[in-house]
Amino acid sequence: MAGGIPRGFVVAVTGEPGTGKTVFCIHFMAEGLKRGEKGIFVTTEESRNSIIIQASQFGFDLKRSEEEKRLVIMDALMRSDKAPWTLNALNPEELVQKVIEAKKYLGYGPTRLVIDSMSAFWLDAPAMARRHSYFIKRVLSQWDMTILMTSQYAVTTSEAFGFGVEHVADGIIRFRRSVSGGVLRRFMMVEKMRWTPHDKRMYEIDIVDGKGIVVIGPTSLRKEDVALPQKVTERMIRAKERSERELGLSD
C-alpha cells in the first residue's frame, strides 16, 4: 500500500468468518499503540476479554495499554451497566456517542478505531447498512481517527453484510479462504485504497501462534478460485439492489 493506510481513512475489512479479519485489526491497533497513537477497539461479536487473550497470543499486551489510558476496548457483546466502556444498544447513534466519549477520555492526537464488526448494527435491518455506514464515517472522520470497519457475509444464507461499508469506504481489504488438499488456506487482497498505488495481487497469509498474521507471498490462485459460488454472489447482488430500491438509495 505504498507505506500503509493514509491517516484519516475509513477502510472496510471484509470476508467470511474465520479468514483473519479480527487478527488483522489487532495488528493494526497494536502497531498504532507502538507508534504512540491512541486506540479504540469496539467489539460486537467477542468479549473484551477474548480480544485481550487473542492479542496476548501474538505478543501484544492490550491490557497494559488500557491501564496506561492509551486504549479503550468497548464491549458490545457482554453488555453491563457496571462496565465503563460498553454499548447498551446496537445502534449507530450510541456507537458514535460512546466513541467520541472515549476519544475525549484518551486525549488529543491521532487515534486508531476498530469496529469489529459493523454487521451487528444492522442484523435486524440489513437494508440500512449503507445509511448507517455513511453516518458513522461522516461524524467520526472529524475526530482525527483512522478507522477499520469489519463486515462479513454468511455463505450458508447468502446474506451480505458488507455492501454498506464498502460503498462509503476509502479502502477495501478483502479476506478469503479455501480448502485445498484438505488444508485450510487464507488469502487477502487490497481491492481499493484511494491516494495509494496499491498492489493488485492476492496474497496468501497464515495465522501463526506468537506472531499473528504472516504474509506468505503472492499466490498463483486466481480471485475466482476463492470467490463465492456464482449463484450465491448473484443472490447477494439482487438482495443489495432490492434493499437500496426500498430505501431510495439506488443511483
Q: Where along the chain do its domains lie?
A: 10-247
Q: Among positive and negative, which fits the CA dihedral 48, 136, 247, 238?
A: negative
Query: Is residue 117 a contact partner of residue 25, using CB atoms and an 8 Å limit?
Result: no
- Residue 220's φ and ψ, nearest 5 degrees, are -80, -10
Query: Is residue 122 a contact partner of residue 128, using CB atoms and an 8 Å limit?
Result: yes
Tell me whether strands 145-154 and 159-160 are parallel, antiparallel or unpaired.
antiparallel
Residues 130 and 183: their CA atoms lie apart, in Å, by: 35
pTM for the complete prediction?
Answer: 0.85
- Residue 2's φ and ψ, nearest 5 degrees, are 55, 40
Please state the separation of Cα 8 from the chain's center in Å. Answer: 15
Tell me whether strands 171-180 and 159-160 are parallel, antiparallel or unpaired.
unpaired
Residues 11 and 193: their CA atoms lie apart, in Å, by: 8
Residues 104 and 195: their CA atoms lie apart, in Å, by: 29
Residues 160 and 146: their CA atoms lie apart, in Å, by: 24
- Residue 106's φ and ψ, nearest 5 degrees, are -75, -30
- Spell out the per-residue pLDDT of the chain, length 251, in tens: 888 999 999 999 999 889 999 999 999 999 999 999 999 999 998 999 999 999 999 999 999 999 999 999 999 887 666 677 998 888 899 999 999 999 999 999 999 999 998 888 877 666 677 888 899 999 998 999 999 999 876 554 444 445 568 888 999 999 999 988 899 999 999 999 999 999 999 999 999 999 999 999 998 766 555 555 566 666 766 666 666 565 555 54
- The grid coordinates listed for 122 are 444492522
Residue 119 parent element (H or E): none
Q: What is the CATH number of domain 10-247?
A: 3.40.50.300
- The grid coordinates listed for 227 are 470467490
Q: How many CB atoms lie within 10 A of CB 232?
A: 17
Closest CA to 50 of 79, 78, 87, 82: 78
72 SS3 class = strand
